[in-house]
């Protein structure tokens, strides 16, 4: 039994007379301690997917169909109070910008102990001790002193470490991280990613990593889900998806990376751009940008097919020539 | 490097940039941010010169100083052998025509109240007041086509376009005056992966067709490797390594460059294994003594905290590091 089971999740945003569909029925599961990555470009629906799992969709967005089964209950149907016992407790979140996540007028210590006391019946002193030990886990130097610091006194990397420490406070079984390193520099990004990988592995915490960066995902996760225009277009073991992508979109993404092209040459590009939510083409939503598209692609919506370890949603999956890496991977 | 007797296109000589300061009589003295410290670079014609470094290292400040958006606190900037940093705006005009800039965020750099056509014709109207409307129209269309934009976009407003399309409009605006030199400050970092490739292609095509010289600022090293001919790695307002792109990626010499390269996430699943640097980037308000990198450098010795290393020739590259000079790296 998977720890988290998302089944045919649909999300829509009613806007006046129109209703925009952000998710067209996505399904995936996460096992205990497993690390999966959801990749895609802006507008693919990856953040909406994460927010809907946590019941955090901002109004007027709503889950219009599907289930999110966590520890044998459908958490998409829970009310606010019930959800509070799960969110931030059993499932934690890490967002992109640590400055926005942390409260600027409260000390790190206050924010951490508050979070613990909201979920556990413990004394202030116990909460303080747990907080300090979590700060130590994320390698913050002299954690006792940092407890009295305000977020603005810390650098971006340190702030994100604090956010990770807060996410780990209640020993959650899943962490959902939405672009956790996008706002950080490369050297800091590498440190934070190494840290998250280590912490998740040591504490057997499941990770849902949402990012647009294929390289980051390939380093940290065991399984990858590729999203395009509100649908999952490919899913599989990280190594399989990276070295042998099946869907034309995934292939295009990988081939567009500079390290996949010889220096100075024109980059392989995917023409056009992701459709807006109110202009998603009929049939396969990738068809206007796809080199293999034909009449059938304009009519039928492809389903995920293939062996369980590596599926892709493309009608012509058998017709498309084998993927050949153009560089980097050798 | 072979000695070139031709004048380089852009020469940056001992440029310093300070922000803040002042106060003192009735108000408390303000801290001084030393954004650029003794930076010297030359950009040859046809270069795609890349500046890399982390946030706060002064790469954007240097770009803005070169193009004339902030006059330097000290030092000189020469364009084709002529000093340009001390000119007033009228004397500068012949040079501004030749130097253009592309900014990071295409949502902020295009005027939302002007149609694309108005945005593109404006530079022509300023620099060539005698140009007829028909000439302007044909020039706008030519440039739009050359960056892969549909000329019928002219009547529309920036909000009607996606990020990648807007950035191509910004590139078109920069190309309107047939410049020789383009400063691009993180032109693709706000864009999606598949769109980044489109915009980089447009920039590379334009360079080939128009014989452009780029000063390209980025924090994405894989883009540098692909796009750049020469690279300067900056740290806290100083250049710590200056090299041809191939050399830099093959044999990074400066300890900071090594750490930076080891941190690039690779798609081959080689895992995360960055060179460990201790501590945090110090602030430019309170620079470390000696080598600015010594507080985090794994090879730092006592001398590094006393003396400032100069950028010295080291084979094909230039490095500013005592450890490299003494053969310890």
Q: Is A225 left (phi over 0), alpha (psi -120 to 50) or beta?
A: beta
* Domains of chain A by residue range: 4-221, 228-312
For residue B138, being part of any structural domain is answered with yes
Quick one: pLDDT at residue A176?
95
Q: Per-residue pLDDT tens for A173-189?
A: 999 999 998 878 888 88
Nearest CA in chain B to A155: B280
How far, in Å, CA of B118 to CA of B115, rounded? Answer: 5
Number of H helices, E strands in chain A: 11, 11
- Helix ranges (H only) for A205-281 are 214-220, 238-243, 248-255
Cβ–Cβ below 8 Å for A216 and B265: yes
**What's the rounded mean pLDDT across residues B56-76?**
90
Cβ–Cβ below 8 Å for A219 and B195: no
Q: Per-residue pLDDT tens for B290-329?
A: 999 999 888 888 999 999 998 888 878 899 999 988 888 7
Tell me which chain B residues have a C-beta less than 8 angstroms from the C-beta of A269.
194, 197-198, 201
Does the CB of A99 have a partner CB in chain B at under 8 Å? no
Q: Is the pLDDT assigned to residue B3 strictly greater than 70?
A: no
Quick one: pLDDT at residue B5?
62
Q: Which two tokens stand for residue B265?
A: 């996430």
Q: Mean pLDDT of all residues in chain B?
A: 88
Buried b (16+ CB within 10 A) or exposed e, A147-163: beeebeebbbbbbbbbb
Nearest CA in chain B to A253: B194
Is A36 in contact with A46 (CB distance < 8 Å)? Answer: no
For residue B318, being part of any structural domain is answered with no
For residue B155, being part of any structural domain is answered with yes
Mutate to test the interface with B, among A159, A162, A185, A237 (most CBs of B within 10 A): A185
- Helix ranges (H only) for A120-207 are 124-137, 143-146, 156-168, 186-203
Cβ–Cβ below 8 Å for B197 and A268: yes
Q: Is A49 left (phi over 0), alpha (psi -120 to 50) or beta?
A: alpha
Q: Per-residue pLDDT tens for A268-294?
A: 888 888 888 888 899 999 999 998 999
Third-level CATH fold of A4-221: Rossmann fold (3.40.50)
Share above pLDDT 70 across residues of chain B, in percent, rounded to a whole number: 97
Quick one: pLDDT at residue B266?
80
Domain that holds residue B192: 97-228
Does the CB of A327 have a partner CB in chain B at under 8 Å? no
Cβ–Cβ below 8 Å for A215 and B267: yes
**What's the rounded mean pLDDT across residues A230-237?**
95
Quick one: pLDDT at residue B202?
92
Residues 6+ apart with CB under 8 A from B170: B102, B103, B106, B109, B110, B187
Quick one: pLDDT at residue A330?
33
How far, in Å, CA of B244 to CA of A315, rounded? Answer: 46
For residue B209, being part of any structural domain is answered with yes
Supply the ipTM of this predicted assembly: 0.79
Q: Which two tokens stand for residue B306?
A: 């006393």
**What's the rounded mean pLDDT across residues A223-232?**
95
Closest to B227 (Cα-Cα) out of B198, B266, B193, B200: B200
The secondary structure of chain A in percent helix, strand, coil, rounded to multiples of 5, reads 35, 20, 40
Mutate to test the interface with A, among B50, B55, B193 (most CBs of A within 10 A): B193
How far, in Å, CA of A11 to CA of A25, rounded? Answer: 8
Quick one: pLDDT at residue B315?
78
Residues 6+ apart with CB under 8 A from A255: A261, A268, A326
Nearest CA in chain A to B270: A219
For residue B198, being part of any structural domain is answered with yes
Quick one: pLDDT at residue A157?
86
**What's the rounded mean pLDDT across residues A73-79?**
91
Q: Is the pLDDT assigned to residue B169 strictly greater than 50?
A: yes
Please name the residues between 208 and 227 in chain A that touch chain B, using a CB distance below 8 Å: 212-216, 218-220
Quick one: pLDDT at residue A328?
44
Does the CB of A145 have a partner CB in chain B at under 8 Å? no
Q: Where are the beta strands (DSSP E) in chain A?
A: 4-15, 18-30, 35-39, 62-70, 73-74, 91-94, 174-178, 206-211, 223-228, 231-237, 310-312
* Phi, psi dihedrals of residue B222, rounded to the nearest 5°: -70, -30
Quick one: pLDDT at residue A265?
86
Quick one: pLDDT at residue B317?
87
Cβ–Cβ below 8 Å for B246 and A238: no
Q: Is the pLDDT assigned to residue B271 strictly greater than 70?
A: no
Quick one: pLDDT at residue B285?
83
**What's the rounded mean pLDDT across residues A41-58?**
88
CA distance B194 to chain A (A): 6
Q: Per-residue pLDDT tens for A292-329?
A: 999 999 999 999 999 989 999 999 988 888 887 655 43
Closest to A180 (Cα-Cα) out of A201, A59, A226, A165: A165
Can you give the CATH number for the domain in which B187 is found?
3.40.50.300
Q: Per-residue pLDDT tens for A141-200?
A: 889 999 999 999 888 888 999 999 999 999 999 999 999 988 788 888 888 898 999 999
| pTM of the predicted model over 0.90 | no
Cβ–Cβ below 8 Å for B197 and A273: no
Q: What 3-state DSSP class applies to B287?
A: coil
């Amino acid at each position: 039994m998977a720890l988290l089971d998302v089944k045919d999740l649909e999300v829509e945003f009613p806007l006046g007379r129109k209703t925009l569909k952000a998710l067209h029925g996505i399904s995936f599961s996460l096992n205990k301690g497993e690390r999966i990555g959801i990749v895609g470009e802006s507008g693919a629906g990856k953040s909406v997917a994460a927010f809907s799992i946590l019941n955090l969709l901002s109004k007027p967005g709503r889950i219009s169909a599907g289930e999110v089964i966590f520890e044998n209950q459908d958490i998409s149907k829970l009310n606010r109070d019930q959800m509070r016992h799960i969110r931030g407790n059993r499932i934690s979140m890490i967002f992109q910008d640590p400055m926005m996540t942390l409260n600027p007028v409260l000390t790190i210590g206050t924010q951490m102990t508050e979070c613990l006391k909201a979920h556990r019946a413990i004394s202030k002193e116990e909460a303080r001790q747990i907080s300090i030990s979590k700060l130590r886990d994320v390698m913050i130097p002299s954690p006792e002193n940092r407890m009295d610091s305000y977020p603005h006194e810390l650098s971006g990397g340190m702030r994100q470490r604090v956010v990770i420490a807060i996410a780990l406070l209640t020993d959650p079984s899943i962490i959902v991280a939405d672009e956790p390193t996008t706002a950080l520099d490369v050297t800091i990004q590498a440190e934070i990613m190494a840290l998250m990988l280590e912490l998740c592995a040591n504490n057997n915490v499941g990770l849902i990593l949402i990012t647009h960066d294929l390289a980051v995902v390939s380093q940290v996760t065991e399984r990858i889900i590729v999203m395009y225009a509100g649908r999952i277009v490919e899913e599989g073991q990280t190594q399989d998806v990276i070295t042998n992508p099946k869907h034309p979109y995934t292939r295009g993404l990988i081939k567009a990376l500079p390290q996949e092209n010889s220096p100075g040459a024109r980059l392989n590009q995917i023409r056009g751009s992701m459709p807006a939510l109110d202009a998603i083409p009929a049939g396969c939503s990738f068809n206007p940008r796809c080199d293999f598209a034909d009449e059938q692609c304009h009519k039928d919506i492809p389903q995920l097919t293939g062996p369980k370890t590596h599926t892709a949603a493309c009608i012509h999956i058998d017709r498309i020539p084998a993927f050949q890496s153009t560089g980097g991977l050798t | 490097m072979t000695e070139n007797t031709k004048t380089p296109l852009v020469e940056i000589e001992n440029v310093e940039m300070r922000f803040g300061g002042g106060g003192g009589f009735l108000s408390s003295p303000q801290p001084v941010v030393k954004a650029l410290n003794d930076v010297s670079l030359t950009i040859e014609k046809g270069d795609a010169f890349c500046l890399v470094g982390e946030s706060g290292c002064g790469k954007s400040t240097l770009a803005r100083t070169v193009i004339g958006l902030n006059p330097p606190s000290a030092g000189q900037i020469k364009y084709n052998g002529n000093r340009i940093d001390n000119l007033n705006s009228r004397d500068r005009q012949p040079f501004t025509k030749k130097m253009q800039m592309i900014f990071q965020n295409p949502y902020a750099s295009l005027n939302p109240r002007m149609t694309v056509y108005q945005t593109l014709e404006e530079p022509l109207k300023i620099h060539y007041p005698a140009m007829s409307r028909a000439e302007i129209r044909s020039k706008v269309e030519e440039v739009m086509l050359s960056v892969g934009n549909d000329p019928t976009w002219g009547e529309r407003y920036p909000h009607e376009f996606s990020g990648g399309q807007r950035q191509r409009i910004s590139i078109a605006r920069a190309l309107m005056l047939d410049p020789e030199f383009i400063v691009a400050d993180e032109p693709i970092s706000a864009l999606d992966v598949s769109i980044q490739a489109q915009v980089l292609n447009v920039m590379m095509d334009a360079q080939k067709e128009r014989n452009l010289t780029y000063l390209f600022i980025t924090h994405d090293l894989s883009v540098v490797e692909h796009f750049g001919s020469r690279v300067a790695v900056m740290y806290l307002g100083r250049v710590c390594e200056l090299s041809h792109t191939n050399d830099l990626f093959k044999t990074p010499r400066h300890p900071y460059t090594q750490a930076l390269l080891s941190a690039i996430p690779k798609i081959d699943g080689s895992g995360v294994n960055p060179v460990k640097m201790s501590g945090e980037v110090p602030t430019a308000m309170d620079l470390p003594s000696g080598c600015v990198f010594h507080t985090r450098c794994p090879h730092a010795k006592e001398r590094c905290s006393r003396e400032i290393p100069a950028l010295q020739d080291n084979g094909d590259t230039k490095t500013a590091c005592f450890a490299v000079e003494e053969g310890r790296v």
